[in-house]
Structure 1
Amino acid sequence: MRFPSKEIVEQVRRQYPVGTRVELVEMDDVQAPPIGIQGTVTGVDDTGSLLVDWDNGSGLNVINGVDRVKKL
């Protein structure tokens, strides 16, 4: 896995601050919550992945450059 630069990670953190509501568009994981589910961003890790508390109780991260969400 190729890690993004610190600048990219900071850009993601500015774009998705804690508390931002998102909707899942695409996630490449067999345990993914259903497409269209909404959740709340709780942070961004050092790889630029979003830490999300999904409304169904799942806590699966949104991987930067692989999965997709849209801001609400």
Structure 2
Amino acid sequence: MLKKLREDYPTGCRVELIQMFEEPRKDMVPGLTGEVMFVDDAGGIHVAWSNGSTLAAIHGIDVIRRID
């Protein structure tokens, strides 16, 4: 699964936030975009979001889509 995630979300690709379930925050709104920094060993997709946050999207919990 990690290999597939890293292939689907390589460093530098652009993503859009569809929905964040864990720790909902007012600044993490659907439509927010960002650039993938890396995928960690637990399946977290770490993103540098356009709002300045570097919150990870958790595979299987949060929903993002690649936009590049």
Whether these two folds match at TM > 0.5 is: yes
**1:43 paired residue number:** 38
Question: What is the deviation of 1:19?
Answer: 0.4
What is the match of residue 68 of structure 1?
Answer: 63
Between 28-37 and 14-23, the greater mean CA deviation after superposition: 28-37
1:9 aligned to which of 2, 15, 20: 2
Bigger radius of gyration, 1 or 2?
1
Structure 1 residue matching 2:58: 3-state secondary structure: coil
**Amino-acid identity (%):** 38
Root-mean-square deviation (CA, aligned residues, Å) is 1.0
* Structure 1 residue 30 displacement after superposition: 2.3
Give the aligned length. 65
Q: Which stretches in structure 1 are left out of the alignment for 5+ residues?
A: 1-7
Deviates more, 1:49-58 or 1:29-38: 29-38
Unpaired runs of 5+ in structure 2? none
Q: Select the residue among 9, 13, 18 that pairs with 2:11.
A: 18
Describe the SS at the equivalent of 1:23: strand
Cα distance in 2 for partners of 1:25, 1:43 equals 19
1:37-72 C-alpha deviation (Å, 9 max, x unpaired): 000000000011100000010111000100010110
